[in-house]
Amino acid sequence: MTTTHCPYCALQCAMHVEPSPGGGWRTRPADFPVNRGGLCRKGWTAAGLLTSPDRITAPLMRASRDAPLLPTDWDTALDRVAGRLAALRGEYGPDAVAVFGSGGLTNEKAYLLGKFARLALRTSRIDYNGRFCMSSAAAASSRAFGADRGLPFPVTDLAGARTVLLAGANPAETMPPLMGHLAAPALVVVDPRRTATAEAALRGGGLHLAPRPGTDAALARGMLHAARELGLLDTAYIERRTRGFGAAWAQAAAWWPERAERATGVPAAHIRRAVRTLGRAPGAYVLTGRGTEQHSTGTGTAAAWIDLALALGLPGRRGSGFGCLTGQGNGQGGREHGQKADQLPGYRRIDDERDRAHVASVWGVAAADLPGPGPSAFELLDALGTEGGPRALLVFGSNPAVSAPDAGRIRSRLAAADLVVVADFVPSETAMAADVVLPVAQWAEEEGTVTNLEGRVLRRRAALPPPPEVRTDLEVIGALAARLGQPAERFPTDPDLVLEELRAASEGGTADYSGVGADRLEAGEALYWPVPRGGAPTPRPFLDRFAHPDGRARFAAAPAGTPAEAPDDRYPLTATTGRIMGHYQSGAQTRRIGELAEAEPEAFAEVHPDTARAYGLSAGDRVRVVSRRGSAAVRLRPTGACPRGTVFLPFHFPDGQSANNLTNPALDPVSRMPEFKVAAVRLEPADGPTGGDP
């Protein structure tokens, strides 16, 4: 039996992995503060990934773009990849090669992948799928607090609160064990749909505020206006611990609750009631999720919720606070250690001379040798195969053929590239479109660390060896780096050696891991970053001061923006996307688990019954949801939980069922987050699956 952590969401629930009496492997929950001896359906079935019948167990390669993927040996595959990379760099320059990482990679993999891109490839073209997940919340938190740690407090603190506001989060389906920490507080749930979390709030005497998609910022401003109107502002806290309230109030002053009602559809009386519930509670938290952030105005919207929390005096207080619910398993650590286009390890900035000098000294190169910042994830993918864009793409742990917005467009860009290389353990849709596929170990077959949504660094342990012809991502990176002329010692394949180097590279940075040693992890110490070398961990970093030089938080005063696309006569409905309990992210893993696939075998569209009747449609009909970018053929599910005029689709399904065939790649100007949550669509009857143009 091996005790490790779940391969899925950022809760990183602890679990035991052990042989199953009937053969194979099974998981069961372990005692850990986050999951307290529980697991969700995905965690209970996670061992099915270890024996998936279509597991990739040998390198695959095409003889030509039109030829099938066929098994080959490692030397042939790696020589082919390195040779093509070298040729493309020689012809077009180092930025002809791009790297796309993942919030599912361990800290060590994320760190070494960023180092590989910048030293072995000398490219600025590296980003990761976390740009689609947490970038707006990260940008807003960094600006407000001086640091981005999803939850700057342990999850267990939530149980002591009287009220928790959840904006754009549905943990009852996406993070079920988290709901155990929300049993005592009254919940205020902000979501256009009456989700399972909203139902839990109503059963517990809480509130469900259902704004129209894309209007969260107006709602948050309306709540701030109501807080002042009702005398609930914490003026002493604002004066002592913040800056910029005057500008934030200048924005909120125009959003009296009745005006916010007209913009959002949330009754003014409910806005005031929610503010009373939150502002009068002796302990209260505001938590945001993807629903409020995945917009072309996502940074400003996340900032509006932060402004509300600051005005009520919540962040940086024991028993109260503000936080962002990180989604991917290592979504926190994955954005800290260098696989983002604008970052170096330790949450250092790649355009800061001191940060560049520090990391360059650890890597043994001149700071001038490091490339500058590159384009964001969607921009990187959208430039593939274009004039001046990357000619080759290396993908580690991600499935952008399904997860990227305007997915049909991205699939065409992948097809236009000269070389696509994917390192994965299952034949994801992106892997099946690649020229070379490199089989790598998965979660229970390798060692490493991950950082959960609380900023706690955890040890992931190997329960079994990978199949004989499977290598770890670190081994793949090291082998490619050596073929590109790098010294072997610069790219170690032992995760503990990589962690030692990561500690040095992050030392003194915002995300300081220099005190995170393997010995402390093995001893089970609760290591919340920052953990300075020789110092104590920081479970609640903002109790005394925020991370800005003057110790004060900043109000953002961001305007209440509007979606990039509005319904019209041709596309009269609004589509929004999200997760469901049985599946995770692009579904590449969970769609291969029999129990999960049987429960949710295909995509669907939720609409209000009145919407279905207006289109002459009934439950179970196959319909085509059509946007300006593409379409998805899915089953119709009429439900009163979905508001009139809105269509909800889960994004876990590929090809002609992909919700991301519809989504709008309009980007937030700060975070470069695409607008996943609002797309103008129409409904049509459908005879079969389709993913083509409308």
Q: What is the pLDDT of residues 529-541, one digit of tens each?
A: 999 999 999 999 9
Q: What is the pLDDT of residues 41-76, one digit of tens each?
A: 999 999 999 999 999 999 999 999 899 999 999 999
Q: Tell me what pLDDT residue 100 has.
A: 98
Q: Tell me what pLDDT residue 600 has.
A: 95
- Is 2-51 a CATH 2.20.25.90 domain? yes
Torsion, Cα of 604, 605, 611, 616 (10° steps): -40
CATH architecture of 135-325: 3-Layer(aba) Sandwich (3.40)
Alpha-carbon distance 22 to 449, whole Å? 31
- Is 68-132+331-528 a CATH 3.40.50.740 domain? yes
pLDDT band at 557 (very low <50, low <70, confident <90, very high): confident
Spatial CB neighbours of 51, under 8 Å, sequence gap ≥ 6:
24, 25
List strand residue ranges (DSSP E) for 339-447, in order: 343-344, 348-349, 392-396, 419-424, 436-439
Q: What is the mean pLDDT of residues 458-485?
A: 97
DSSP 465: P
Phi-psi region of 385 (alpha: psi -120 to 50; beta: other; left: phi over 0): left
Alpha-carbon distance 577 to 405, whole Å? 11
Q: Give, for 602, the enclosing helix (H) or strand (E).
A: none
By C-alpha distance, which of 353, 354, 405 is closest to 379? 405
Given a cut of 90, is residue 690 above it in pLDDT?
no
What is the average pLDDT value for the chain, to the nearest integer?
A: 96
What is the domain class of 573-685 according to CATH? mainly beta
Report how far apart the first and last C-alpha atoms of the chain are (Å, whole number). Answer: 52
Q: Tell me what pLDDT residue 113 has.
A: 98
Q: How many CB atoms lie within 10 A of CB 341?
A: 22
Q: Are 419 and 81 in contact (CB under 8 A)?
A: yes
Q: What is the pLDDT of residues 284-315, one digit of tens each?
A: 999 999 999 999 999 999 999 999 999 999 99
Q: What is the mean pLDDT of residues 640-669?
A: 97
Q: Tell me what pLDDT residue 687 has.
A: 74
Q: Tell me what pLDDT residue 693 has.
A: 44
Q: Tell me what pLDDT residue 692 has.
A: 44
Query: Any idea where the domains of the chain sit in the sequence?
Result: 2-51, 68-132+331-528, 135-325, 573-685
